[in-house]
A and B are shown apart, each in its own frame.
Chain A
Amino acid sequence: MAIISRGFAGRRSAAEAKLPPGQYLTTDFPVLSAGPTPHISLDRWEFTIDDGSNVLKRWDWKSFRQLPTETITVDIHCVTRWSKFGTSWEGVSLDVLLADVKTDLSYAMFRSYGDYTTNLPLKDVVNKQAWIAFKFDGADLAPEHGGPARLLVPHLYFWKSAKWVKGLTLMPHDKPGFWENLGYHIYGDPWLEQRYSDQ
C-alpha cells in the first residue's frame, strides 16, 4: 500500500482535493464549545510556558504582539466530521515562542482560559506546525472562535487547536487532556482517522 503524503493535494482545486477519511466539506465555520465563552481583557491576557515547577517564559498581550507573525492558509479537520479548506490565519509560530526554551521534556499540555486542556508531543508543535493565532480571515479572532488567541495545529484534529489558549506546561510523558481522557485519541491524526482511544 502506498505511503500517504499527509496534506498533499497536487494541482487539484480545493474542492477536488481529498478529504481525510470520514470527513465532510463545509463552507461555514461551526462553533463547538465545552463551556461558556471566556471574555479575557487584553490587559489581563498572558501566555506562559512552564515546566511544572518554574515559569520559563511569559508574554503579556503587548509583548506577544511585538513578536514576528506569519499569515498561513490551512485546511482544518474537526473530529465531528466537518472539514474546512483554505482557512486563513495570522499568528506567532511556536518556533518563535519556544526559541529560547531549553528543555529535555518531550510533551506539552496546552492550557486555556476556562478549564480546557489538550496534550501534544513537542515535536508536533515545532518546525512550522503550530501557531498561536489571533486573526482569522484578516480580522481579529472572534471570542466564539477562540479570541483573543487560540492554538492552531492544523495537521491534527481541531480539538487539539485549543481556543482561548493561555500557555503550555512542558512534561516528561504524554498525559491526556480534557477530551483525550474521555475517549478521544491521545494523538489525533485525521489522515489515519485517529478519532478515539478505543479503536
Chain B
Amino acid sequence: MAIRAGIGLSTAKDHIQAVKEALSEARRNIYKDKFDLAIVFSSIEFAHPGTLKTIGNLLGDIPIIGCSSLAIISQDGVFKHGLIIMLLSLSPDTSINVAHVKDITAETIVDAGKLLGERLLGPLKDVRRNLSVIFSDGLIQDCSGLLSGLQEKLGISFPLIGASASDNLSFQKTYLYFNQEIFDNGACGILLSGKLNFGLGTKHGWKPLGKPRQVTKSMGNIVAEIDAAPAVKIYEEYFAKDLAELKNDLKQISILYPIGIYLPGEEEYLLRNLSSIEEDGSLVLQGSVPQDCQIRLMIGTKESCLNATHQAVEEVKKGLLGRPADLVLIFDSVSRYILLGRQAAQELQIIKEGLGKNTPIIGIYTYGEQAPLRATSYLGKTYFHNQTVTILGLGG
C-alpha cells in the first residue's frame, strides 16, 4: 500500500475544538505515527488563521494544504458546516513537494502559474513526476492563465487536477491553506513522484442544444461577439429575456445553461459558466474562450448530472487498473451542488458504491475545476472546467 489515509471531521462551532476533534479522529483512522501531508478543507466559518495555527501546532512540521468550500464531503456525507482533515502517509518510494504563490493579478497570472510550477518541481526536478493537485482562489476571474503557466513548466500532457476554492456563495472571499498560512488571491499545490497508481475521472453530463455558433470576438474570458452579434444575444434569444431580466436570473442561467466549447478530438464539450453580463452585451465567463471556436448552449438535468458521476467513477476505476483506491479526492462543482439540491448526497453515494464503501473520501465544492478532458489517457490535456465532478482515486 503506497498511501495510507486517515480522515477526521468535526462540526464543532469553536474552531480550536473542531481542529482537536478532527485531528484526533484522523490520527485514530490512519494507524500510523508518521505523516507526510495533511489536506485540510473547511466551510467558510473555519477559514480562520487560528485554525491553521492550531493544526500546525498539533502536527509539527508536516506540510498542510487545502482550501475553503461551500460544503465539505467525506465518506460520511456532505456537511454544510465543518472542518475535515486528511492525514497522508506515503510509502518510502513516493516523494512529495508542496508550494504556493500569492498576489496573483490578471496580468501576472501566467507567470504565477510558471512560478508555482517551478516551485513544485524544486527538489523533484530530476525524478519521474506522476501527478499534481492544485488549489486556487475561486474568485480569480480566469484561471486558464494559471493553468497554462503551470503546464509550461510541468508539461501539457502531465496529469494535473485542480480546484478553485469556494465560499458560502456570497462570492466575497475564498481562502487557501498552506502550512500555517491562510491567504486569498493565490494558489498552492502538491507534486507527487515515484511509484503511484491513480485513476482520474472528469465528467459534467451537460448536453449541447440548438445550433452551433461561432465566437467571432473574444479576449481571455470575455466573449464580445458570437456570430458577429453581441454575445448576450445568444441568451436573449434562447430565454426571450432582455439584458436586465437576464441579469436578474443570472445565477440560475449560469448554473443550468452554460456555454459549451467544442474542442476537436475531445470527447466532451468544455463548459464555461456565465459570471456576468457587461452593458455592451459581452459575456464574462469563468475561464477563457478562444476566438473563432465553435460553441453551443448546454443543458443539464439532475439525471444527466448523476449519470456523468457514474461515468467519472468508471474512468477512475479504469485508471486504477482494477486495483482498489486507498483514498478518493473529489472536486465537485458548486453548480452541481445547487442543481442537485437535496440529491447531493446521492452523488456521493454513487462514488462510494463505485470506489468502495470504506475507502476514505475527502472532497470540496468548487468554483472551477482543472482536469484532463479525456481523463483515461495520459495524453489528455488539462483544461479549466466548470460544472464537472473531478474524482481522483489514489492507490498503491
Determine if chain A interacts with chain B: no
Binding site for A on B (CB under 8 A): none
Please report A residues at the B interface, Cβ cutoff 8 Å: none
